[in-house]
Structure 1
Amino acid sequence: MEAASQNDAQPVHVADDLRASDLFAALAAGWRDFKACPQYGLFFGAVFVIAGLVMTHLLFNRGEYFWVIPAMAGFPLIAPFAAAGLYEASRRRLAGEAISWRPVLGAVTAGDGQLPVMGVIAFVIFAFWVILAHTVFGVFLGQSGVGADPLQVLLSPVGLAMLAVGSAIGGLIALLLFAIMVVSLPMLIDREVDFITAIITSIRVVGANRAVMLCWAVLVALLVFAAMIPALLGLLVALPVLGHATFHLYRRAVR
């Protein structure tokens, strides 16, 4: 344990030579992990899908059709935190350790409570996005409102302008969350570090490999939103594969 502590205390070295091939290698490794232990991926994917369906159902029942768009756009922001158990499954499989439900489900409390702190950060950012979405709506449609036909309003010039501004703001928030969490969450599962060190390391990885990590962010976004189209059911596979893949990309980026 002492040797492990000394190793954790050493400076963290991040790779600055990530390539597009590393992204595809991570996806391939994530697919192999999912096939090797699908029960964990399907479980976390099902929890995420059910939560999304419940949220959508509640919004429709209350007649708040417009808020389905910002809710669905912001919902994937918390996906990396939901994949904590998948990082642990990948870590154990890579280390040749036994994989069972107890450590996988217990991964959310890993790092002496550091991971729950990251969960709070993700929730705060998600809540901030919802507040901004309300503000954008108020600026563009505060006087007229949505009316009886939300689709017609969204396709109007004012509605399209609102969607453009909202998408730009949401994209910036998503990039911020991506930069601080893409490496920090799997790192907290893999090493005994504090969440500040993990966040700084994540930002360093993104900064040292801007083009490749931006491609990864876009690829993840496209896969997640494509998986959400068939009633979110595609997330049953997309979420676990991306979760496992993120762990392998972290192991490539952090030495």
Structure 2
Amino acid sequence: MLSDRNGPPPPDENDDHDLIPELVPPLPVENQMARNLPWRTALGWLKQGWSDMWTNPIPSLIYGIGVFLVSVFVVWLLLRFQMDYALFPALAGFLVIGPLVANGLYIKSRDLEDGKNATLGQMLFVKPRSLVSTFFMGVILLMLFLLWNRAAVLLWALFFGVQPFPGMDEIVWTLFTTPTGLSLLLVGGAVGALFAAFSFAISVFAAPMLLEERTDALSALGISMAMVWNNRPVMIAWGAIVLALFVFSIVTALFGLIVVFPLLGHGTWHAYRAIRSTDAVQTEDQRMFISPM
């Protein structure tokens, strides 16, 4: 016989509701990666980098001269083989591989912390603790660099069609005085900013991490991004400093790299030391494929 009652059945007096505890929201967990550093801390890293550079300055300056000469050689190759259309993406893409190239500068800053003076040979022939992973990370960053260059070529083709690059003599006039050029600057700037932000986030701390810790490349790249994301104010300030000094280097026909590159390399090491927790170095929960010990 069906009941005419539409509501829920009456409670059973024999049920013991006290056996099932009420749901309690979980306790808040402290963010282990957030350092809550003010943006002005980035200026302190720059000051520390300046101090490291001028402490036994010859190795740092020779390092900067080497980066300058390699950069000039790459620019000459692009112009020599009429690949000037890739010049601007190549210069911008330097920000992708820059942190990995600065391994020798991290060595010097680390030794200065220990009261030692690193020689030029020690800075040039670096043996990271995660050697194989460092090579693998270099391959990943190189692929990202090539993708960035390809995206720039595709954007040019989308706005100007499949036609030869006008050359360095006409490109500035084309970009800044034509509607198509201005549109390309706007869209290309937005796409380039996305590439730059992503590249900066995954690489800025990955290189010193692989130098100092035993970890894998993918974990280092992921942890670097997490460190940047959880310390956005100070890292945005540091990224702005890196960008401003890099633009200065380009304006000075790359001569500024002789001082700017060592300065940023030493400063990045101090940024890594300030944000990377000492306890996190020994834990496995952040790593995907390899244990820290």
TM-score of Structure 1 vs Structure 2, range by shorter chain? 0.7 to 0.9
Q: Match of 2:171, as an amino acid?
A: P
The answer to whether structure 1 residue 154 and structure 2 residue 175 are counterparts is: yes
- The higher relative CO (CA closer than 8 Å, separation ≥ 6) is in 1
Task: Report deviation, 1:143.
Answer: 4.3
CA 33–150 in structure 1, closer or farther in 2 if over 3 Å, else same: same
Counterpart of 1:106 in structure 2 is 125
Secondary structure in 2 aligned to 1:20?
coil
Q: For 2:222 and 2:95, locate their aligned partners in 1 and report how far apart those are by CA, in whole Å.
A: 22
The answer to whether structure 1 residue 206 and structure 2 residue 228 are counterparts is: yes
Ranges in structure 2 where 5+ consecutive residues have no aligned partner? 1-30, 278-293
Deviations 1:92-149 (A, max 9, x none): 1112234123432232644232222221121111101011111101101124544473
Q: For 1:97 and 1:212, locate their aligned partners in 2 and report how far apart those are by CA, in whole Å.
A: 29
Q: Match of 2:123, as an amino acid?
A: V
Q: For 2:127 and 2:250, locate their aligned partners in 1 and report how far apart those are by CA, in whole Å.
A: 24
Q: For 1:198 and 1:135, locate their aligned partners in 2 and report how far apart those are by CA, in whole Å.
A: 31
Counterpart of 1:66 in structure 2 is 85
Output the TM-score relative to the length of structure 2.
Answer: 0.77
Q: For 1:98 and 1:72, locate their aligned partners in 2 and report how far apart those are by CA, in whole Å.
A: 32
Secondary structure in 2 aligned to 1:180?
helix
**Partner of residue 69 from structure 2, selected from 50, 53, 77:** 50
Counterpart of 1:115 in structure 2 is 134
**Partner of residue 191 from structure 1, selected from 185, 208, 213:** 213
Q: Match of 2:65, as an amino acid?
A: A
Counterpart of 1:253 in structure 2 is 275
Q: For 2:103 and 2:237, locate their aligned partners in 1 and report how far apart those are by CA, in whole Å.
A: 22
Q: For 1:227 and 1:214, locate their aligned partners in 2 and report how far apart those are by CA, in whole Å.
A: 20
Q: Match of 1:27, as an amino acid?
A: L
Deviates more, 1:141-150 or 1:234-243: 141-150
Task: Report deviation, 1:70.
Answer: 1.9
Deviates more, 1:118-127 or 1:72-81: 72-81
Larger Rg, first or second structure (1 or 2): 2
Output the TM-score relative to the length of structure 1.
Answer: 0.87
Contact persistence 1:84–1:108 (CA under 8 A): no
Task: Report deviation, 1:43.
Answer: 2.5
Runs ≥4 in structure 1, deviation > 6 angstroms? none
The answer to whether structure 1 residue 20 and structure 2 residue 39 are counterparts is: yes
Q: For 1:200 and 1:153, locate their aligned partners in 2 and report how far apart those are by CA, in whole Å.
A: 40
Counterpart of 1:8 in structure 2 is none
Contact persistence 2:89–2:152 (CA under 8 A): yes
Secondary structure in 2 aligned to 1:99?
coil
Contact persistence 1:44–1:82 (CA under 8 A): no
Q: Match of 1:40, as an amino acid?
A: P
The answer to whether structure 1 residue 237 and structure 2 residue 259 are counterparts is: yes
Contact persistence 2:40–2:234 (CA under 8 A): no
Q: For 1:61 and 1:129, locate their aligned partners in 2 and report how far apart those are by CA, in whole Å.
A: 21
Backbone CA RMSD of aligned residues: 2.1
